[in-house]
């Protein structure tokens, strides 16, 4: 490609006499005369000291910029926000978590489009900034690479953040004392990096690599490691290759690429949030992806990785045996991946995996197809009386495949958590947490505190939980989320009363209530939506624009009538 073609966007900003003011300002931030003739590569950093997931990303951004510079471009670092799920969990602040995904995508779009960057490297390290980065990449459709900030090292005694949440429940049940809780709290998080199991961050990093938007093993590197530094350097260099070949995100984000991502998420036993985020990314890429696609693919893909939260191993231990590349090679050889999909290397999935070695003999983290954790997906898409538009359950099989019990209804996460900690929840109960959906929250909070308290109380096999909110990747047990339509728009979940018999059937993929239509009609006639108290600001804007969880909980401006 010619120099002008490589600088498709930046030359509008810096070329010509009339752009002298632009060049003058850029000289002040370090541009030299030669830099004006180079492709400009935006480096979107999600660095902040808000959370350990992102506290090191400023260093990684500098490495990516150096890689772009070394390959003949001009790297320009800019920041966007992040909020911490783990810190805000169980508080009103958690309502901003999913909202931040949209803010991040919008802010990256705004900077890249305004500044005229020709290519883009995004670096994310926590649950919502990662899909937010990729949504912006798909929306802008300029040569782009995503870099994962990396997973945290294990804490003492192989602890992680979920160890702390579950210790709270254990303290409440009398299984541990306050001194033990403090010791867990002090040792679980040893430094930088995303939460250490196959929770949402590691799930989404793996999904993004499977989509083809990251370099090999970017998803399987510790945050503090030479491998991660090298990954950032190579990402900066890879952008120049993508510019030369004119390979853009929508060339990579095909229907088949999304099917690859879903397959890898299932094989890893990944987070239910992957459903929400992949639907949102597909929307930005103009790919028709639905809840049912997860169900259809899940019928043929087994869960192979024995990883936390429901399994035994941490991401660092999966990294030690080779990461996800050998797993992808196994899936490809089995005919479960589309090998012809393009990736940010400029090569196809099959070409990237051609020389990947299998896992070492004797490891038991990733099982073979003849001995899976579960023969089909743990992500079960459910419909029924209570979820006409769908719901997402996380059923590994350890919890059983069917649960019938009497409803205990709560209008918020906090009320449910207090009931659990106060021993008000008994074996056979189905905890119903509603008005926590995208509009109801607003913000669709994660129910990690209640699910962790259930596990810490030793009730994981004895109670179920359903919600129009969502779950942390660290949640496990018999849980069903994303129930749609949500309670705030009058979905059937709003009509449940204490004592109603609810049946959750993972084999039939249904969630139903044993109440006749006449009674439900009576309840609907008397239903009044509770007031949320949110009237202004980002949450009010989000509530006004956000779609159903069954559509990815994306925001979109109303159509403009020309």
CA of residue 448 relative to chain centroid, distance: 15
Give me the helix-helix angle, 255-268 and 200-211, nearest 10°: 140
Mean pLDDT of 209-220: 97
Confidence of residue 562 (pLDDT cuts 50, 70, 90): low
Is the model's pLDDT at 399 over the cut of 80? no
Give me the helix-helix angle, 200-211 and 273-284, nearest 10°: 40
Mean pLDDT of 522-542: 94
SS3 call for 193: coil
**pLDDT confidence of residue 72:** 97
Is the model's pLDDT at 91 over the cut of 80? yes
- pLDDT above 90 covers what percent of the chain? 88
- pLDDT above 70 covers what percent of the chain? 99
**pLDDT confidence of residue 3:** 78
Mean pLDDT of 353-363: 97
**pLDDT confidence of residue 312:** 94
SS3 call for 389: coil
Output 323 or 126, whichever has higher pLDDT.
Answer: 323
Confidence of residue 330 (pLDDT cuts 50, 70, 90): very high
Is cis: bond before 145, omega within 30 of 0? no
Which candidate, 71, 64, 73, places its Cα nearest to that of 31?
73
| Helical residues (DSSP H) of 346-428, grouped into ranges | 349-353, 413-421
- Give the DSSP per-residue string, 59-114: HHHHHHHHHHHHTT-EEEEEE-----HHHHTTSGGGGHHHHHHHHHHHHHHHHHHH
**pLDDT confidence of residue 558:** 67
**pLDDT confidence of residue 460:** 87
**pLDDT confidence of residue 461:** 87
Write out pLDDT tens, residues 264-285: 999 999 999 999 999 999 999 9
**pLDDT confidence of residue 290:** 98
User: pTM above the 0.85 mark?
Assistant: yes
**pLDDT confidence of residue 473:** 75
Write out pLDDT tens, residues 434-485: 999 999 999 999 998 898 889 888 888 899 999 999 988 777 778 999 999 9
Average pLDDT, the chain: 95
**pLDDT confidence of residue 478:** 87
Total length of the chain? 562
**pLDDT confidence of residue 557:** 66
- Provide φ and ψ at 484, rounded to 5°: -130, 140
Write out pLDDT tens, residues 154-164: 999 999 988 99
**pLDDT confidence of residue 341:** 98
Structure tokens that stand for 40 in this block: 């400009």
Query: In this structure, what DSSP letter does residue 55 have?
Result: T
User: Which residues participate in catalysis according to the annotation?
Assistant: 472
Range from 47-61, 162-176, 326-340 carrying the lowest mean pLDDT:
162-176
Which candidate, 296, 297, 308, 300, places its Cα nearest to that of 268?
308
127-147: burial string, b at 16+ Cβ within 10 Å, e else: bbbbbbbbbbbbbbebbbbbb
**pLDDT confidence of residue 482:** 98
Is the model's pLDDT at 173 over the cut of 90? no
Report whether 254 contacts 148 (CB < 8 A).
no
Mean pLDDT of 219-246: 97
Is the model's pLDDT at 329 over the cut of 90? yes
Write out pLDDT tens, residues 462-472: 999 999 999 88
Q: Taking every pair of C-alpha atoms in the chain, what is the biggest distance, in angstroms?
A: 77
**pLDDT confidence of residue 416:** 96
């Amino acid at each position: 490609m010619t120099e002008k073609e490589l600088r498709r966007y930046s030359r509008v900003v810096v070329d010509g006499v009339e752009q002298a003011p632009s060049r003058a300002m850029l000289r002040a931030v370090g541009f030299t005369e030669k830099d004006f003739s180079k492709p400009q590569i935006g480096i979107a950093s999600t660095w902040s000291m808000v959370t350990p997931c992102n506290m090191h990303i400023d260093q990684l951004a500098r490495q990516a910029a150096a890689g772009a510079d070394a390959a003949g471009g001009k790297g320009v670092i800019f920041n966007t926000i992040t909020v911490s799920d783990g810190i805000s969990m169980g508080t009103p602040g958690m309502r901003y978590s999913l909202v931040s995904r949209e803010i991040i995508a919008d802010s990256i779009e705004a900077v890249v489009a305004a500044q005229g960057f020709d290519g883009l490297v995004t670096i994310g390290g926590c649950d919502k900034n990662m899909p937010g980065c990729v949504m912006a990449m798909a929306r802008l459709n300029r040569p782009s690479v995503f870099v994962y900030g990396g997973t945290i090292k294990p804490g003492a005694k192989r602890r992680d953040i979920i160890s702390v949440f579950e210790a709270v429940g254990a303290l409440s049940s009398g299984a541990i004392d306050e001194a033990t809780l403090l010791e867990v709290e002090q040792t679980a998080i040893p430094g930088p990096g995303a939460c250490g199991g196959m929770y949402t961050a590691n799930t989404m990093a793996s999904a993004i690599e499977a989509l083809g938007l990251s370099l090999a093993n970017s998803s399987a590197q510790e945050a503090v490691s030479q491998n991660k530094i090298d990954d950032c350097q190579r990402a900066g260099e890879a952008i120049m290759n993508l510019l030369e070949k004119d390979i853009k995100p929508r060339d990579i984000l095909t229907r088949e690429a999304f099917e690859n991502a879903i397959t890898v998420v299932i094989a890893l036993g990944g987070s239910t949030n992957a459903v929400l985020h992949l639907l949102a990314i597909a929307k930005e890429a103009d790919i028709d992806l639905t809840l049912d696609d997860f169900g259809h693919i899940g019928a043929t893909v087994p869960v192979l990785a024995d990883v936390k939260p429901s399994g035994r191993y941490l991401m660092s231990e999966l990294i030690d045996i080779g990461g996800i590349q050998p797993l992808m090679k196994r899936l490809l050889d089995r005919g479960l991946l589309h090998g012809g999909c393009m990736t940010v290397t400029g090569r196809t999935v099959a070409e990237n995996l051609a020389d990947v070695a299998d896992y070492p003999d004797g490891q038991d983290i990733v099982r073979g197809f003849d001995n899976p954790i579960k023969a089909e997906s743990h992500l079960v898409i459910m419909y029924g009386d209570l979820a006409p538009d769908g719901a997402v359950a996380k059923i590994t099989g350890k919890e059983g495949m069917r649960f019938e019990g009497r409803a205990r209804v709560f209008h918020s996460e906090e009320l449910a958590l207090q009931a659990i900690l106060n021993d008000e929840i008994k074996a056979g109960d189905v905890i119903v947490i509603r008005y926590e959906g995208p509009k109801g929250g607003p913000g669709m909070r994660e129910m990690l505190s209640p699910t962790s308290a259930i596990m810490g109380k030793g009730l994981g096999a004895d109670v179920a939980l359903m919600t129009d909110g969502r779950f942390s990747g660290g949640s496990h047990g018999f849980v069903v989320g994303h129930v749609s339509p949500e309670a705030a728009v009058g979905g059937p979940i709003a009509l449940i009363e204490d004592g109603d018999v609810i049946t959750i059937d993972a084999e039939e993929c249904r969630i139903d209530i044993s109440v006749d239509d006449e009674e439900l009609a009576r309840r609907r006639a008397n239903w009044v939506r509770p007031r949320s108290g949110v009237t202004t600001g980002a949450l009010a804007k989000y509530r006004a624009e956000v779609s159903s969880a069954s559509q990815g909980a994306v925001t979109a401006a109303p159509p403009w009538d020309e």
